[in-house]
């Protein structure tokens, strides 16, 4: 009996000792944990944006900024495309894009001062907009494309798309924004020389060539006319005509002493800067000569 009591007491002592040793204390971590989900107010991030409102062809737009704080903006760069292809400064050389601020009536006049401008030159397809200050609030801005004579000749009659990047920045903080303002510009028809007229002279001693000229809004006048002859697939100048004239004569004596051949001739306008505008069509002249000769339209 005594032995059993002693054994029970020893077992109880072992259990109590284990509880004391394994139980949590100030220097031990609890072996259990708990978690809960608490609803917090929705998080919100701030920002600004550039607002662009256009109508019609888009050459007039109302620009401004909105968001969590005020900001300033200005046109930053412009690209010009034709038929979906971006044009380079080499193709647009001498052209520019002007930006004017509208008056209280929301319109711009050609005599209003230019606030910003972009010169379209160089090898790139994006052109920096210079001048002016950063603006705040909503303002109406008018865009005007001023084509060079080169553009009028090479791209006349086409529709150009002008995309202006408007850069914005918050007055306070580091927020920035950008938006694109797209406008279209219809170029007038290219300057052109009419189809040539050929009239045979008395007894076929000469032919008279005549043509008409449509300047198509060019800024410069014709400096002279170039009479050209087709020579193995290329055009070779064989004579010049003063700018004020629209006719010239061709005689058999301008050709070889013995000649029985037909020639293809055309005329081209030569502008002051050297740009040429050839007639879209040519005419055939027959020359027959052995000493004396004849020339007639064929």
Q: For 237-277, what is each residue's pLDDT tens digit?
A: 999 999 999 999 999 888 887 788 999 999 999 999 899 99
Q: Are residues 196 and 168 in the same domain?
A: no
Q: Are residues 132 and 208 in the same domain?
A: no
Rounded-to-integer distance, Cα 80 and Cα 87, Å:
6
pLDDT confidence of residue 39: 58
Region 151-156 average pLDDT? 94
Q: Are residues 86 and 199 in the same domain?
A: no
Q: Are residues 181 and 206 in the same domain?
A: no
Q: Is residue 29 part of a domain?
A: no
β-bridge pairing 234-242 and 247-250: unpaired
Region 43-59 average pLDDT? 80
- For residues 43 and 59, the model is more confident at 59
Rounded-to-integer distance, Cα 145 and Cα 244, Å:
31
- For residues 23 and 134, the model is more confident at 134
Question: Could you please report the per-residue DSSP string of the chain?
Answer: -HHHHHHHHHHHHHHHHHHHHHS--TTS--S---------PPP----EEEEEEE-TTSSEEEEEEEESS-EEEEEEEEEEEETTEEPPHHHHTTEEEEEEE--TTS---TTSPPSEEEEE-SS-SEEE-BSS--EES-EEEEEEEE--HHHHHHHTT-EEEEEEEEEEEESSSS-EEEEEEEEEEEPPPPPEEPPPEEEE-GGGS-EEEE--EE-TT-SS-EEEEEEEEEETTEEEEEEEEETT--EEEE-GGGS-SEEEEEEEEEEEEEETTS-EEE-S--EEEEEEEESEEEEEE-
Q: Are residues 239 and 151 in the same domain?
A: no
The total number of structural domains that make up the chain:
2
Q: For 172-228, what is each residue's pLDDT tens digit?
A: 878 899 999 999 999 999 999 999 999 999 988 999 999 999 998 898 999 999 999
Q: Is residue 12 part of a domain?
A: no
Structure tokens at 153: 């000749």
- With contact defined as beta carbons under 8 Å apart, do 181 and 163 qualify? yes
Q: Which domain holds residue 159?
A: 48-186
Residue 19 confidence class, pLDDT cut points 50, 70, 90: very low
Q: Is residue 36 part of a domain?
A: no
What is the distance, to the nearest Å, from the Cα of residue 20 to the centroid of all Cα atoms in its chain?
Answer: 84
The dihedral over CA atoms of 11, 14, 16, 18, expressed in degrees to the nearest 10, equals -140
pLDDT of residue 167 exceeding 80, the answer is yes
Q: Are residues 217 and 264 in the same domain?
A: yes
pLDDT of residue 29 exceeding 80, the answer is no
High-pLDDT (> 90) share of the chain, %: 68
Pick the range with the lowest mean pLDDT from 12-16, 125-129, 196-200, 250-254: 12-16
pLDDT confidence of residue 158: 96
Q: Are residues 251 and 177 in the same domain?
A: no
- CA dihedral sign of residues 84, 88, 91, 93: positive
Rounded-to-integer distance, Cα 22 and Cα 8, Å:
21
Q: Is residue 32 part of a domain?
A: no
Q: Are residues 273 and 207 in the same domain?
A: yes
Q: Are residues 174 and 233 in the same domain?
A: no
pLDDT of residue 159 exceeding 50, the answer is yes
Q: Is residue 2 part of a domain?
A: no
Residue among 49, 65, 71, 57 at smallest CA distance from 139: 65
The last residue of a domain, from among 140, 157, 186: 186
For residue 228, what is the domain's CATH number? Answer: 2.60.40.10
The last residue of a domain, from among 152, 186, 220: 186
Residues in the chain: 298
Pick the range with the lowest mean pLDDT from 22-36, 141-155, 205-219, 267-281: 22-36
| Average pLDDT of the chain to the nearest whole number | 87
Q: Are residues 161 and 255 in the same domain?
A: no
Q: Are residues 154 and 55 in the same domain?
A: yes
The last residue of a domain, from among 161, 186, 211: 186
pLDDT of residue 63 exceeding 90, the answer is yes
Q: What is the pTM of this model?
A: 0.74
Q: Are residues 231 and 161 in the same domain?
A: no
Q: Is residue 22 part of a domain?
A: no
């Amino acid at each position: 009996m005594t032995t059993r009591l002693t054994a029970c007491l020893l077992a109880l002592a072992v259990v109590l000792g284990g509880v004391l040793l394994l139980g949590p204390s100030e220097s031990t971590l609890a072996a259990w944990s708990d978690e809960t989900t608490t609803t917090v107010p929705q998080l919100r991030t701030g920002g600004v944006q550039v607002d662009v409102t256009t109508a019609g062809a888009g050459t007039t737009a109302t620009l401004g900024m909105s968001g969590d704080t005020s900001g300033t903006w200005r046109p930053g760069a412009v690209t010009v495309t034709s038929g979906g292809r971006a044009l380079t400064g080499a193709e647009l050389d001498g052209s520019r894009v002007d930006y004017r601020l509208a008056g209280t009536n929301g319109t711009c006049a050609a005599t209003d001062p230019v606030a910003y401008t972009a010169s379209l030159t160089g090898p790139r397809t994006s052109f920096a907009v210079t001048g002016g200050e950063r603006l705040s609030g909503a303002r109406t801005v008018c865009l005007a494309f001023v084509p060079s004579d080169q553009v009028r000749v090479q791209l006349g009659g086409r529709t150009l798309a002008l995309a202006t990047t408007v850069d914005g920045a918050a007055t306070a903080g580091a927020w920035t924004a950008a938006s694109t303002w797209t406008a279209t510009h219809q170029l007038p028809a290219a300057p052109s020389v009419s189809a040539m007229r050929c009239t045979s002279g008395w007894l076929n001693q000469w032919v008279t060539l005549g043509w008409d000229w449509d300047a198509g809004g060019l800024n410069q006048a014709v400096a002279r006319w170039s009479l050209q002859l087709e020579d193995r697939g290329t055009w070779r100048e064989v004579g010049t005509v003063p700018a004020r004239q629209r006719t010239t004569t061709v005689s058999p004596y301008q050709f070889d002493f013995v000649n029985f051949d037909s020639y293809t001739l055309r005329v081209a306008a030569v502008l002051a800067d050297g740009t040429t505008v050839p007639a879209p069509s040519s005419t055939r002249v027959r020359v027959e000569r052995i000493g004396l000769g004849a020339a007639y339209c064929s």
